[in-house]
Amino acid sequence: MASYSYQRLGTMAPISWEPKFTTQPPKVKYAVLSYPAPDVLLVRLNRPKQLNCINGEGNSELEEIWDWLDKEPSLRVGIITGTGRAFCAGADLKEWNNANALGKARPLPPSGFGALSRRSGRKPVIAAVNGICFGGGCEMIVNCDLVVAARSATFALPEVKRGVVAIAGALPRIVRTIGRPRAMEMALTGRTVPAEEAREWGLINAVTGDREGEVVDEAVKYAKMIAENSPDAVIVSREGVKNGWEGFSAEEGTRHLIETWYPRLTAGENIKEGVKAFVEKRKPKWKAAKL
């Protein structure tokens, strides 16, 4: 099994270990996969000359990656970032233009743009926004579980400037995050929102510095905090929040969680291990989620 490492900022030596996968990682062409911490998958979009625009093949590739994250027992959290000065500038407009000329449709996977903008999934994904985050890129982060951004990062839904619509899932979702007036401002004007303003609006969780790798380091900190928790409890807690996000009333969402997900949690080993470890004053030894 190959050994993977991740060079953290300010350190001389890389942190390294051997991920032991039970399933094989998907083959990738437009992204780079790495493992910056135990149980954590880092996906780096890797088309810097195209500002990490995602084409049809790239969307299918990302669908395979997130599906693998959900199924692979040794992974608990995913992170997505970009290479170069962009996180993701949206759809590949050259491909789109060619499709229009040929009268062809541009299908997206059921999970939406980047297989994230409409993703439900089981395990959390954190966006580490290193730069330009426009169009489909912005639609992806609206549906990510946490978002951290470099200070120079910018966000926009500029589709109206090109005569198209942000139809990959962001419009009904972003209004629930930042409210109707701000959602309308982004959707109807297409203006660029800087990172600090996006944080004030509640669109993102945190803003970091602009040094290379700094935003990924911050995302890894969040990912490690998540990965240290019970993988079962993380999945079920995420479902509880999603219930409200998807429009359940508070009581409906609670009832659905209790009736559908809580029995799966209590049938597993991790809930027993967590309580036992607390009583014995030791660190829990979690097992891979089987929910």
User: What are the extents of the domains in the chain?
Assistant: 4-227, 231-279
Instruction: Reply yes or no on whether 239 is catalytic.
Output: no
Choosing from 61, 63, 72, 139, the catalytic residue is 139
CA dihedral 125, 40, 63, 166 (to 10 degrees): 30
How many Å apart are CA 240 and CA 91, to the nearest integer? Answer: 31
- Asked about 139 being catalytic, the answer comes back as yes
Catalytic residue among 31, 37, 91, 289: 91
Pick the closest to residue 256 from 233, 231, 236 (CA basis).
Answer: 236
Residues with Cβ within 8 Å of 246's Cβ and at least 6 positions away in sequence, in order, are none
CATH code of 4-227, in short, is 3.90.226.10
Phi, then psi, of 228 in degrees rounded to 5? -75, -15
Judge whether 169 counts as a catalytic residue: no
Catalytic residue among 159, 214, 218, 239: 159
Per the annotation, the verdict on 159 as an active-site residue is: yes
Per-residue pLDDT of the chain (291 residues; tens, 9 = 90+): 333 444 443 333 345 567 789 999 999 999 999 999 999 999 999 999 999 999 999 999 999 999 999 999 999 999 999 999 999 999 987 876 777 776 776 678 899 999 999 999 999 999 999 999 999 999 999 999 999 999 999 999 999 999 999 999 999 999 999 999 999 999 999 999 999 999 999 999 999 999 989 999 999 999 999 999 999 999 999 999 999 988 899 999 999 999 999 999 999 999 999 999 999 999 999 999 988
pTM, two decimals, is 0.92
